[in-house]
Structure 1
Amino acid sequence: MIGRLPLDDQLDALRGVLSRNDVLVEVLERSAALGLPGWYVTAGCLFQTVWNVVTGRPPANGIKDYDLFYFDGDDLSWEAEDRVIRRGREAFAGVPAEVEVRNEARVHLWYAEKFGVPCPPYGSTEAAIDSFAATTCCLGVRLEEGGRWRVYAPHGLSDVFNLVVRPNPVLAPRSVYEEKTARWRAWWPELTVLEWP
C-alpha cells in the first residue's frame, strides 16, 4: 500500500499518479510559464486524481476545477488580482477544464462574507493551504527549474493514498467540511470520512 511506504517512495508515487492526469500536467506546465510568485496548483485536482487512480477510475473523474494559488502581498487590490486572472484565462485557453486563479494574500478581504468566519491574513500560499477544511486537502505542487516537482504536504501523504479524509478545524466551519465530504462521498464511496471534532 502506497500510504505505508517511506516518504521518499510516496513522493515518487505521487508524481507517477498525478502524471497520469493529462489535464493536471498541462495545468502545471502552463502555470509554471506564468511565473506567479509563490504559486502552487492545489486542492481537489491533486488528491482527487490520487483517489481516482487508487480506485481504478479515469484520472480526471469528478474533478470540478483546478486551483492555482499564488501570493502577491504588494498589491491587494481586486484590479491587480483580476489582471492575473485574465492572464490565466489566456494561458489556460484550450485546457479542457476550469482553472481558478487566486491571490491568497487577498483571502482575508472576502472570506468572512463568504463563509461567515473571519480569516486572518495569510503570510504565504503555504499558510493558505494549511487552512483547508480537511488535512487530506492540504497539498500543493508546482514545477520548478529543470522540471523538478516541489510538493507541499504539511500533513504527509498517507491519508491521501489511503482514502482517509480527516478534518482540519483551524479555519473553515464544520458546514464547509460536511458539504465537501458529502460531495466527495458521492464520487468516491470508498472514502473513510472522519467526523468533525
Structure 2
Amino acid sequence: MNRIEIEYRLQNDLELQQLLTIVARLNLPDWWICAGVLRSKIWNVKRHGTSDIDIVYFDSLDISEETEKQYEQCLNTQIDLPWSVKNQARMHTVNDLPPYASAQDAIAQFPETVTAIGVTRRPDFELYLPYGADDFTDRIIRPTPSFQVSGDRHSIFQRRVSEKGWRDDPSLHIQT
C-alpha cells in the first residue's frame, strides 16, 4: 500500500469522515486526528472500544489542560467516544522535549513511525505521513528518530511495544 492508497482508504472511510466533521466544528488551530485510530483503519484492524481517538492541535495562546478537557466534553456531546484532545503547544513539557513548532512537528516526534500519522480537513482533506507509507505497507513497528536506541527515550518505545502486545502479533515486524 502506498501513500495514494492510504489516502484513498482514509478519505473513503465513513466513520473517519464523521469524526473529521465533528472535530472541524471545534475550529481548533492546526488540528489533526492522529495515531492509532488511523493505523487501525489502514491495517483494517478493528479498533478496541476503549482506544482513544487522538486529536492534536497547536495553540500557544491557551495551554491549559482544562481547555483540552472542555474540548473533549464538547466532542462527547456530539458522539460518545474516548476522545483525547491535546494541545501540542504544551505537550513538549510532558514529553521532556524541546518545544514543538506545530502540531505536525509534534506528530513527527511520536514514538513509532506508524503512530506518526495525521489527517485533517481545513477545509480539504490532508494526510500527513512524516516517515512515508512503507512501514504501514510492511507492517513494521520502528521508533521515530526521537525514540531511537541511542536516545534517552528508547525505553518509552520498548514499553509501548510491550503494552500494546505488538510482539505477540505475527503480522507485525518490530524493528528497534
Compute the TM-score of the two structures, normalised by the length of structure 2: 0.83
* SS of the residue 2:135 aligns to: helix
- Segments of 5+ residues of structure 1 without an aligned counterpart are 4-9, 112-117
Match of 2:127 among 143, 146, 151: 151
Tell me how far 1:19 sits from its aligned partner.
5.1
Tell me how far 1:40 sits from its aligned partner.
0.5
Aligned to 1:127: 105
Higher helix share: 1
RMSD: 2.4
Aligned to 2:60: 73
Match of 2:76 among 73, 82, 92: 92
- Segments of 5+ residues of structure 2 without an aligned counterpart are none
Aligned to 2:23: 31
Aligned equivalents of 1:62 and 1:192: distance in 2? 25
Cα 1:61/1:194, change in 2 over 3 Å: same
Is 1:165–1:192's contact at 8 Å kept on the other side of the alignment? Answer: yes
Cα deviations by residue, 1:113-167 (Å, 9 ceiling, x for unpaired): xxxxx3111111111011111122211100122xx21111111112112211121
* SS of the residue 2:71 aligns to: helix
How many matched pairs?
171
Compute the TM-score of the two structures, normalised by the length of structure 1: 0.75
Aligned to 1:64: 51
The one-letter code matched in structure 1 to 2:136 is: V
Query: What does 1:1-197 correspond to in 2, within 5 Å?
Result: 2-3=1-2, 10-11=3-4, 13-18=5-10, 22-51=14-43, 53=44, 57-58=45-46, 60-61=47-48, 64-76=51-63, 78=64, 81-93=65-77, 95-111=79-95, 118-145=96-123, 148-171=124-147, 173-182=153-162, 183-185=164-166, 188-195=169-176
- Percent identical among aligned pairs is 26
Aligned to 1:115: none
Tell me how far 1:184 sits from its aligned partner.
4.3
* SS of the residue 1:68 aligns to: strand
Is 1:44–1:63's contact at 8 Å kept on the other side of the alignment? Answer: no
Cα 1:96/1:157, change in 2 over 3 Å: farther
